[in-house]
Chain A
Amino acid sequence: MQIKIAIFLGKLIALISQTFKLGGGSAAPGLYSLKIDSNLVEKLIKQIPHNIVITGTNGKTTTARLLAHFATQSGLKIIRNHTGSNLERGIASALIQNYRLHPWGVNPKFDLGIWELDEAAFNIMVPKIKPELILFLNVFRDQLDRYGEVDTVVKKWAETLKTLTPQTKVLVNGDDTNTAKLAKYFIGKVQKFGLQNYKLRGESIEKRGHNTKLDFEAKNIKLNGLKGSSFNLFLNHKSYILNLPLPGIYHIYDTVAAIAAFTCLFTDIPIHPLRRLSEASRYTNTLKSFLPAFGRVEKFSFQPLRLERKVEGYIFLIKNPAGATQVFETIAPQLRQNDRLLLTLNDNLADGTDVSWIWDAEFELLLMPLSFPRKRESNKQNIYGSPIKSGMTVVCSGSRTYDLAVRLKYAGFEIKEENIEADIEKALKQAQKGLKGRLFILPTYTAMLELQYILAKRGIKEDYWKKE
């Protein structure tokens, strides 16, 4: 009975919050339902036959979306926590919204649960979810005020791994020494994925000389600017050529991780016979129809004020030094003189209240024409190069707009007073004034949510929570 009251209350709150546009209702319903039944998540998740947990600093949402895409294209019914709300309450909300409360009713039967968990929630939730497969993407510095130091995060993961049954499938990023070393803390089998000739060091991805043994490895990687990339992947004794419609090396990691996880879980299990896809078409064709997670990379077109024609806009989420630096590396070679940048820095709880991280992200890259990947001696050496590209307009915004403006000034940008505007909606207007090229928007997490709302209001794009 308790569980039914909990679910009823959760559904009610979700309805209220969506009716009054208080947000997508991706956290609040779970929060209150958990107060009534704290074992809600265990009880409901037990009914799902397969569960995958994804953790790591960067790429969780994109990887989860890719996995969901492969699964639904293969005829599987999936449930997952949405929209980056990946604490326990996010999972509870997802379960509540999919649970039917008829006394006679049958719950929708799910084949697969995909749960993205942040670095800290992982240790609390894994014993409750008891997943069949765990995917460790990477670990970088992120919100040290919340998660603590990288070493601490890895140590706690190792402790959680020690408690798992050996049948659990564990997949780690073999190019990240911190996740690769997790293998020694687990008694079962650990498989590794990665990219040929790359490794993650410090806060960056760089070329590596030698190869570590990888179970899933992307080879012959070709980057194709903002359009995406292509690479070869060897699966079950066959090589596939994959075209990924997402730009940047970091998205190749997410894709290989998602394919590896799907392959580990469903190679031996018969999938819905009518919609069973060959491996080739599952990965090659379905990738074409993949839309990136909201705000992680998004392309839209819009008509700036007082302008007759439409222009292109891009949104790339930036939230920590590693992720931001990878975004800069991806877009820097594409930037032209007429393009504009709109950067927004918020310091809400979900962004991290400590904004120091912007000094570990290499904003200098945005001013340097370069070909990725660069060879470096150490990740601290190259911050001191002199910018060559100048004159590109940059607009700063968000609750810590002055911190951002100072960071950009020291990176070599010329910041004009009229281009500093804390209010995101006004900043967006300012960035459009006389825009001739394209607009690149780089927001932190809560700034991105604000932007989504503003763009939806203007009819440029849909509300993110309605998209799925």
Chain B
Amino acid sequence: MSLMTSQPQIAIAANPTATAAFDPPIVRPGEQAFYRVVFNALEESIEWPGKVPAPAQLEIRPGAHGQILQMAGASLEPRTSFNHRVRAANVGMFTVPEYVVKVYGKPVTVPAALLEVVAAPPAGVRTTPRLMLELPVTNLYVGQAVSVRLAMPGLAGGIVQGLGQPQLTGQGFLVDLGGARQRIEMTTTAGVSLPAFFYETTLTPVMTGKLTVSAQGFTAGNRFSGPIVITGSATIPGGPPQYTLLESDPVELHVRALPTEGELPGFTGGIGRFAVGPPQLVTNVLHVGDPVRLTVTITNHGDGPLARLVAPPPPQVPDWQVFAAHDFTPAQPVLPPRAVVQPDVRTFIVEAGRQPTGGRAVPPVQPGARTVPEAVQGVVAFNYTLIPLTEAARATPPIPFSCFDPDTGSYADLTIPSVPVTVLPGTVPADLQALTQAASTAGEAEKELILHGLAASRGRTAASLVPPQQQAWFPFIQLAPAAAFFGLWNWDRRRRYLEQHPDVVLRRRARRALRRQWRILRRAAQTADAPRFAAAAVSALRVACAPHYPAEPRALVGADVLPLLPEPDRTGRAGEVVHRFFEVTDASNFSTASTNPAELLPLQSYLERVLQQLEDRL
């Protein structure tokens, strides 16, 4: 509570004001300037309009905005800045007229601002420094940490300021604020050696596609937010800082996903150029059940920073129990890559909170000094605890480890090699098996939580996502076997019936035979083939009577036919016709006397009537 009450109060202005200006106020056609509006109010209280009323000839786009607290006497005063990027294609005077913005619910007038666009602006117009965002590479992979440098070159006369609230804006990346550093060193711009302020941090993209990154920060004069290394000659202005909001041009990153093809075991997301040092054991003579510590160093030889490299998971092997070492610590600080200077360059370190004196001159860089890139960007050590479970173990298990090399676009094998050991008899603790089970289960669970790559083929296909039982045709498909079984059952039922009633079969056969003979006799009658006609007629009479007698149809005679006719017909014309047909055919078959079957042809109509009567009885 005392710490809270000791903090200076934030002064909220009763009548907030605004200032507006172009930076620089005079530019060439096509040159970019910033239209900057500053309020002495909190950012949340300002209802900033979506569009600034600018002349049509002036191309204006929204830029950075931010808030910083400025010491004003014993209290802090908020200063909120809104930047717009402005560009004019033609020479002229362009005025953004005054307009009203609501601050704390009250109307505040933003004054008019004038931009002069001339073909040849006078020298020395620029009064505020520029902020530049520098990335060594813009084609990245997801998870590939890259060093980012914000550079703010000093102005003429070697004047350089600090940068307050530096931040990277955009979507789809993470910024490692913990590893940020700042320094001032000499740079050569257009043949002129000037000091520049540098702010370095690490950016890690977490999304694929095109990402846009831009930087912003406030000029902070001699206020530095942390330790700073000053190299060379620089003039740091004294007095209260101006807190001007600067912003860099946006940088576009092209971020790709890591390829799934060729991924090696033990990949934990490490991207860069790493090398594995020889693993070290405390001792090479072990006892069964005794833990031993294995240490291996990973050296970063790449351009990127060694940011949070994750140790490979412990392997599951039968002879060893390997525990993951979560306490690994960097053997050297994990820092972004930087340039080191030769020892003859004098270096000054400014601690946080200790302000350098205003206008102090720092000794310049010696003419022979040069910067050389570091060969090693950092080293980390992984520690594992290994417990031999049997005396059969002759070497520590190799620990699969791999990383992705962005330069080659492929995975590199960094498997930690095994170390020869001698295992002597010992006792295995009883709870070791439980630990083994727990470690095994945890490893499997972690292994599952990855996004698998694309399927190589379309896999199992289907006509529809709708299951068959919900398809309209499915019941009909199921009716088909039902219909087949019903037909089979019906056929079997009929067959059993016919077996019990053989007369039905006889009558059916007789009907078929009668019709066949009937057709024959009709054809014979048409062709006047009297013998064939007579033979077919007798056969028809016999097969029509056969079911009524337990005899062969060929054994039947005319006397067998007559009882089947109605009583009046037996003695009438029908009976005569039957007798006549049998007589003529019997005579032609058995008698030596000549017969004339042609005389039977006129009797066809009587014969057919008899046959019809016989068929009706079948």
Do A and B originate from a single complex? no
